[in-house]
Structure 1
Amino acid sequence: MVKIYLDPGHGGSDPGAQGNGLQEKTLTLDIAVRVRDILVNEYENVEVRMSRTGDVTVSLAQRTNDANSWGADYYLSIHINAGGGTGFESFRHTSAPTQTARYQSIIHPEIALESLFRDRGMKTANFHVLRETRMPALLTENGFIDHATDASRLQNASFRASIARGHVIGLEKAFQLRKKTNSNPRTLYRVQIGAFENGENAIQLARRAATSGFTTHIFQEDGLYKVQIGAFSIRENAEQLAQEARNKGYEVIIVQRNS
């Protein structure tokens, strides 16, 4: 059993960073809940605990003490940045052991890939939640709330779902989590607009598709980075979106998969 401790930053009387009509505490909770639900519903042998599940005030010491007493295997603190920049970055402690750095090197690129944020890099810091935790810990900064473009994307629920999925994919790879067996798989029709050996090419296409108004998703399959703009249980819905993409100049195929 892998025990993951999720820490949505701020909460209650501490709103965190604010900008463009958004509050950090609300966004971090939304993303963390999505991460929890994906882990619990889709993976075997994983247990999740959260520092908060509502808009309540929790001190930094309360958060790390709770994780330590619970015996978490990993501490993941989710934040939104501010201060005039743009993009995604993550932090481990300045004196973190090699294993913590290895986890960061696995999880960080998956979040960057799924979110399509500019990758600001893997960094170190002496934050309380990284210093006082007895287990490996990572703090993620998912976009800048005071940057108009980042904030516009963070307002989108589908985009926050992509950020959450990136965190989960990273955890899956870092801890070799196994997905639950689905005894009644359903057929999905995926609308795919590209497949590349080079992940950067996939990111560039996904960014272009996002500017065309499509919600994009990048996933790895068969050694390729595939760019998807939709997945439907009804083929007619996939065909409708595919035609819309063709009309905007994209080369489209519909791929049928069981999930």
Structure 2
Amino acid sequence: MSYLVALDDGHGARTPGKRTPAIPKLGGRSVRENEFNHEVVKYMDIELRRCGFRTLLVAPDDEDIPLSARTSLANAKGADLYISVHYNAGGGEGAETYHWAGSRRGKRAAELIHNQVLRSGVYRKNRGIKTANFHVLRETNMPAVLVEYGFMDDPGLEEAVQMVDPEVQKAFAVATAKGICEYFGVKYVPEAPAKPKPMYRVTVDGKEIFDTAYVEKILGVVKQVIQEKQGEIVIKKL
């Protein structure tokens, strides 16, 4: 059976107020919350589909889609689980995960996802698993989980600056996908390691010059040989 997971990147690109203070490490730049949320959902979409899930992006563009439209779409499509991605505010620090108080399955999903987030390799203070009367938890027909992966205004803005770090975004997406896989009893399929680039040996007039995997470097030598008329150049794949 192929499960359908609704993915919600909280807020829109222009939602008022959902942004960090000016971050000195980013040259005084302020980061919008959706800059993090959108990228995490993008990575999570890839992770889940590789594991055999179907996904539903309830807010695929930069517009601030109303919450009712998001949950109505998930309900209409018969999603099996709803995941809402957020970054917190209020001057604290750490990660916390929410579910609807009356949902036993929602609580189970929140527990599994939260535990994986804490094991993601990105340090977060454990703020626990909580219940809330959020629209996306209350109005969904399926179990729903809302994750706050950090704070936009944490002391020192260390978590804030991580919002635009692709490695952090991907780590949290992978962790969440692993929790979702656990919830459904589906084996997590990791990303295949990148294939190493082929190596080439460059020889000029019978003399080995260097080995390289970078075509640009080879082209530079070829250009030099042609310009200086040095002689015969041989490029052999190793």
Shorter-chain TM-score bucket reads: 0.7 to 0.9
Alignment of 1:15-54 (within 5 A): 15=16, 17-19=18-20, 20=23, 21-40=30-49, 42-44=50-52, 46-54=53-61
User: Is 1:11 the equivalent of 2:5?
Assistant: no
* Residue deviations 1:216-235 (CA, integer Å, cap 9, x gap): xxxxxxxxxxxxxxxx858x
Using a 3 Å threshold, how does the CA distance of structure 1 residues 180 and 142 change in structure 2: closer, same or farther?
closer
Separation (CA, whole Å) in 1 of partners of 2:124 and 2:55: 26
Q: How many residues align?
A: 186
Alignment of 1:127-206 (within 5 A): 127-147=134-154, 148-179=157-188
Give SS of 2:102's match: coil
- Partner amino acid, structure 2, of 1:134: N
Report the counterpart of residue 88 of structure 2 in structure 1.
Answer: 81
Using a 3 Å threshold, how does the CA distance of structure 1 residues 179 and 120 change in structure 2: closer, same or farther?
closer
Please state how far the C-alpha of 1:179 moved relative to its aligned partner: 4.9
* % identical equivalent positions: 30
Aligned alpha-carbon RMSD (Å): 2.3
Give the stretch that moved more between structures: 118-127 or 98-107: 98-107
CA contact (8 A) 1:33 1:53 kept: no
- Partner amino acid, structure 2, of 1:119: N
CA contact (8 A) 2:67 2:136 kept: yes
Report the counterpart of residue 104 of structure 1 in structure 2.
Answer: 110
CA contact (8 A) 2:96 2:130 kept: yes
- Partner amino acid, structure 2, of 1:66: L
CA contact (8 A) 1:15 1:23 kept: no
Please state how far the C-alpha of 1:102 moved relative to its aligned partner: 1.4
Please state how far the C-alpha of 1:153 moved relative to its aligned partner: 2.0
* Residue deviations 1:18-40 (CA, integer Å, cap 9, x gap): 11311111210111111001111
Runs of 4+ in 1 over 6 A off after TM superposition: none
Using a 3 Å threshold, how does the CA distance of structure 1 residues 125 and 180 change in structure 2: closer, same or farther?
closer
Using a 3 Å threshold, how does the CA distance of structure 1 residues 95 and 9 change in structure 2: closer, same or farther?
same
Please state how far the C-alpha of 1:171 moved relative to its aligned partner: 0.7
Using a 3 Å threshold, how does the CA distance of structure 1 residues 16 and 29 change in structure 2: closer, same or farther?
farther
CA contact (8 A) 2:35 2:164 kept: no
Report the counterpart of residue 206 of structure 1 in structure 2.
Answer: none
- Partner amino acid, structure 1, of 2:51: Y
- Partner amino acid, structure 2, of 1:113: R
Separation (CA, whole Å) in 1 of partners of 2:14 and 2:189: 38
Please state how far the C-alpha of 1:181 moved relative to its aligned partner: 10
Give SS of 2:11's match: coil
- Please report the TM-score for the alignment, with normalisation by the length of structure 2: 0.72
CA contact (8 A) 2:19 2:152 kept: yes
- Partner amino acid, structure 1, of 2:7: L
Please state how far the C-alpha of 1:104 moved relative to its aligned partner: 1.4
> Structure 2: where are the runs of 5+ without partners?
24-29, 198-238
Structure number with bigger Rg: 2
Using a 3 Å threshold, how does the CA distance of structure 1 residues 181 and 124 change in structure 2: closer, same or farther?
closer
* Residue deviations 1:73-92 (CA, integer Å, cap 9, x gap): 00000001001000100100
- Partner amino acid, structure 2, of 1:22: V
Give SS of 1:111's match: helix
Separation (CA, whole Å) in 2 of partners of 1:101 and 1:179: 21
Separation (CA, whole Å) in 2 of partners of 1:180 and 1:161: 15
> Structure 1: where are the runs of 5+ without partners?
189-231, 235-259
Report which of the two has the higher share of strand: 1
CA contact (8 A) 1:17 1:80 kept: no
Report the counterpart of residue 73 of structure 2 in structure 1.
Answer: 66
Separation (CA, whole Å) in 2 of partners of 1:181 and 1:30: 19
Using a 3 Å threshold, how does the CA distance of structure 1 residues 180 and 31 change in structure 2: closer, same or farther?
closer
Give SS of 1:33's match: helix
Separation (CA, whole Å) in 1 of partners of 2:127 and 2:112: 15
Using a 3 Å threshold, how does the CA distance of structure 1 residues 105 and 180 change in structure 2: closer, same or farther?
closer
Please state how far the C-alpha of 1:112 moved relative to its aligned partner: 1.5
Give SS of 1:58's match: coil
